[in-house]
Structure 1
Amino acid sequence: MASLPLHRKQLYQEFVANLYICVESSRLRYTFSNQRQLKVEIYQGITEMLEAGGHIDGKNIILPSTFIGGPWSMLQLYQDAMALEKLYRKPSLFITMTANPRWPEKKDCLIGNRVASNCPDIISRVFKMKLDTLILYLTINKQLGKVKSYFYTIKYQKRGLPHTHIILILAKDSIPNESSQIDTLVCAEIPHLYQEKKLFELVTTTMLHSPCKEGS
């Protein structure tokens, strides 16, 4: 009976969304009740000065930068990214990673008639582990060269699968400057069916928006 909500498909997604709202409401309640400790008066003073004496009715609630997803949090992350770019020069590589519902780690966690699209908890956990591993390969193992700095953002597609955009700032001696070096990193070709069979299957099943049709 305890696992009954897990098998209700869209109803389970609504259940997860409601739980998230409960958690976020609790965090917002703390922020609302502790405005003095968060020194909101300082924020309000700056805001009033910038608005040149504009009158604001009611009471403004300031969300601190520790509230993930809030305007101050987004602004701080943006400024941190710009500071890294200013310190280490312009970015070198832009890498995108997308969640794959066919990952075996996801399938192994599915019980009964559950599918990945109805299991946001499993998708998020597996995706984050894959992302952490990719970051490890790029930074510690130096798969694409020595990394001076990096930052990334995670977004969600309309069908519920997350994807990430990673910005790498490479060391000067690792930046690809010649076309031959770039060709080793970027490829827009379908691998040979027989010579690179495994790579061919990966590209045709995960890198194409739809199967190629005759005459296309």
Structure 2
Amino acid sequence: MKIAFVTGGSQGIGLETVRRLVADDYQVITCSRRENIWQQQVERYPELAVVDYHQVDISDEIQLNRLFCVIRERYGNLDVAVNNASPALASGGQFAEVEPSALRDTLQQDFWAQAYCLQHELRLMGEGGAIVNLSSVNGFRPTPNAAMYSAAKHAIEGLTRSVALEVIGQGIRINAVAPGVTWTPRWEAREAEAPGTREEVSAVVPAKRYAKSSEIVDAITFLLSEQASYIVGHTLVVDGGLSLN
């Protein structure tokens, strides 16, 4: 049985990725900050009971090191990995006015934590391994009022391409998926706070709607599969045409 690791697997794109990989007969390891959310998902989707879940804040190096020690001891290797975790934005607003601590938090959560995970994953992979990093359309274009988030996603783009070249000779492929606006619990919460948000944002997207999490996962699982065996260091944009505006 192949072994898969997915960060941020309790909600949204991460949850849909875990469900898809379980259906494809992977032994899935996942983590998130809040175990209670994961338990709610297991009650909703009983097939997730086979997943090896860990409550971990991946931005904490001590917790992350401990998690990968467990993975190494329990499984010995990884076949695929998806670096998906991304908490709520801490540094929204005009850049000059955002507290430095909030800027650091976003960079830590949306770039450094992903880089640490990537490094650990590579140490557990051999020939045939595949990794997908979750980027964003904001990694390609300016994002006023979320500048540090955009910077972190630009960094993910550079990391993906650079490390992909480093490890292709080992038979390991690294790619990225860049979603546009995707209907997840985070957007559901925004809609609850400000009714009409969904309609307003949808109007800006050429496809006139949000992506479904399953549509993003279609791209992720394609890049993990043998169908993408000759695709290296590529970012697959899945945004309904948003980045073309």
Which TM-score bucket, shorter chain as reference?
Answer: under 0.3
Which entry has the higher C-alpha Rg, 1 or 2? 1
Instruction: Return the structure number with greater helix share.
Output: 2
